[in-house]
Structure 1
């Protein structure tokens, strides 16, 4: 699914109307019909529809007409008067009046009281006040109307975006409708991706309203939400003549005293995702522990310099960081790998932390790099506060990836994967997975898919989707899902997606 800003939506609308000669009233009618489609008409009989003089209000008037024709009880309110009403909005306003539907005006406090009584009486409130173009704080009568709707409605449906919601940033502009469902059009709005927006959007439904896909592609900025069909189309079925040498030599640098679990989980993540040969490099203090646990993977001592150098040069992919410790030794190992490796390197956890103040390590290299930070790690290497990173995740990840010529997989709800040009959002996963080791597992999976030949960006996308999909599937029957549960289910989920 494609993601869009309000500016992109405006350009698409303008192109359709001015260049393709699709009347705006046609798009408005299609939008209204798609909202009707998403109302449980067998469940609800009475509706309060709140509109303004803009095109979002025009959608609301058209929705009211269709509900009236369906013999539903409809009460309509126009907030702020009809002076300078948009032409398409006025068409639907006039039609509604012509068929005998009363349109109540909301211009003062007395009108606001009447609206309150209407909202209380009816089963559903439809918010058609402000659309995607809103960029300033809601004030005056509009702020009062939004508060009344929020405080007195039984069920709220917002048209395109909740009124008072910045569709680019996800921020509340002073006051905002708290919808139970938002029916939005053509593309997923960028603001929907921000943390906490579900409190105002409710369930989000994206509907097509008749805009040609070549027009969408013309203005779209290479920002997407992944889905299962994308992953299915990328997963390759195995040739019966292939052997372990065809599925990647993966080397993982991980673990330290007290952190053997991180090394184990990361290594098993690669094994369980289908790697041909996996080798863990760790220090002599923990090697006996991990060697006894890792049945299908090999272990090599970091102290064996010749063997380690050989692995760096001959591996199809290297992963480094989980459980290594934020120290000089980790930094030195990372430097050695980046200087010598010609195949991709996945950098996670402490190998990201040691980059704080040492980003020059990423320059003058021959290998592709994937970084898999969480918010704290992203904050350290960028110098930005965690709160700023959270609020501006797409921009921060994309800028860092572009400036440093790396792929960034910024973990969290709606994980972001970007190479600085295109952005992919992973929608899978949930809070049942909030436990230690999840990131280590994901790192092993990313490395595994790279080793199998899927490419760096593609591998990061596939791994993130499958990782979250495993957690979602398991959480249907489990209160909490741990990394071990994910490891056990990876092969089954991959097989299911292939089918």
Structure 2
């Protein structure tokens, strides 16, 4: 096991060349936010936007349109019942699915459609309800995708593999990852007070930063958005994920110096400034 260090940020975050455009920084699709949990996918979108993703589309319940565009007008919207969604899925570099998705029959069908239409050139980030659905039906695990990043908290991980939280040791987590995703290139970001990252190559890394002020709703949605934004613009690889995890907690630590509670939306708000600092150092 090794610790993620601040060096990962200067390694991954680079100055943007003058001759570039939004298409150079990744096309990302976010799927989630039913009629009761629109805030989840909006926080994902805000994190992806502020972490630098070039083009962001959100597939969500139609009731979320006004709130999404009032908060983040830079983000594109598609009704998740629109037939054009299937065509959009095939054009993305990164897809984040799960926050606020729900676990009803429609959500199940959405996951089935997604896993049948992703490709080896894409990165798929699965969080929250997407993982609950896989726990209910392992047939929803995609097998034809370049990289899968799963981002459960410990209870979601328990629901997925039946390992109770006190027994989620490094060896048990690696074994479960191999069993659930036997042939895929997978990264497990297991969220806790010090998040652990596991890979299908049996690498184990721990995130040393973060604070208890971050124990609030929406924090995981924000992390999923940052991971999506980083893999979209810096590539679907382990370093991109590690940098996203570290920056998310580092931002939380900076806010916690002044605030008792760290709001996820405040983390998203300071990402551009932090990324500028590390791009200038690189």
TM-score between the two structures when normalised by the length of structure 2: 0.92
Q: Which of 355, 367, 373 pairs up with 2:152? A: 373
Alpha-carbon distance change, 478 to 464 in structure 1, aligned in 2, over 3 angstroms: same
Is 1:303 the counterpart of 2:84 in the alignment?
no
State how 1:7-156 maps to structure 2 within 5 Å.
none
CA distance in 2, matches of 1:303, 1:321: 16
CA shift, 1:255, in A, is 0.4
| Structure 1 unaligned spans of 5+ | 1-222
State how 1:376-387 maps to structure 2 within 5 Å.
376-387=155-166
Q: Which of 390, 409, 412 pairs up with 2:189? A: 409
CA distance in 1, matches of 2:241, 2:104: 27
Aligned partner of 1:318 in structure 2 is: 95
Q: Which of 245, 270, 275 pairs up with 1:489? A: 270
Aligned partner of 1:419 in structure 2 is: 199
Aligned partner of 1:397 in structure 2 is: 173
CA distance in 1, matches of 2:142, 2:68: 33
CA distance in 1, matches of 2:241, 2:7: 16
RMSD between aligned alpha carbons?
Answer: 1.5
Question: Mean Cα displacement is larger for which, 287-296 or 337-346?
Answer: 287-296
Is 1:332 the counterpart of 2:109 in the alignment?
yes
TM-score between the two structures when normalised by the length of structure 1: 0.53
Contact 1:228 1:497 in 2 (8 A): no
CA shift, 1:363, in A, is 5.1
CA shift, 1:250, in A, is 0.6
Cα deviation, 1:296-335, whole Å, max 9, x if unaligned, reads: 1010011111x21121000110000111112222222112
| Secondary structure class of the residue paired with 1:279 | strand
Aligned partner of 1:434 in structure 2 is: 215
CA shift, 1:480, in A, is 1.1
> Which portions of structure 1, spanning 4 or more consecutive aligned residues, are displaced by more than 6 angstroms?
none
Cα deviation, 1:53-109, whole Å, max 9, x if unaligned, reads: xxxxxxxxxxxxxxxxxxxxxxxxxxxxxxxxxxxxxxxxxxxxxxxxxxxxxxxxx
| Structure 2 unaligned spans of 5+ | none
CA distance in 2, matches of 1:324, 1:330: 6
Alpha-carbon distance change, 359 to 458 in structure 1, aligned in 2, over 3 angstroms: farther
Is 1:462 the counterpart of 2:230 in the alignment?
no
CA shift, 1:362, in A, is 1.8
Aligned partner of 1:31 in structure 2 is: none
Number of residues of Structure 1 aligned to a counterpart in Structure 2:
273
Larger radius of gyration: 1
Cα deviation, 1:253-300, whole Å, max 9, x if unaligned, reads: 010112111111001110000011101001223333323332110100
Question: Mean Cα displacement is larger for which, 475-484 or 397-406?
Answer: 397-406
| Secondary structure class of the residue paired with 1:296 | coil
Point out which structure has higher relative CO (alpha carbons under 8 A, 6+ apart). Answer: 2
Aligned partner of 2:5 in structure 1 is: 227
CA distance in 2, matches of 1:365, 1:346: 14
CA distance in 1, matches of 2:54, 2:145: 24
CA distance in 2, matches of 1:246, 1:338: 25
State how 1:192-203 maps to structure 2 within 5 Å.
none
Contact 2:153 2:191 in 1 (8 A): yes
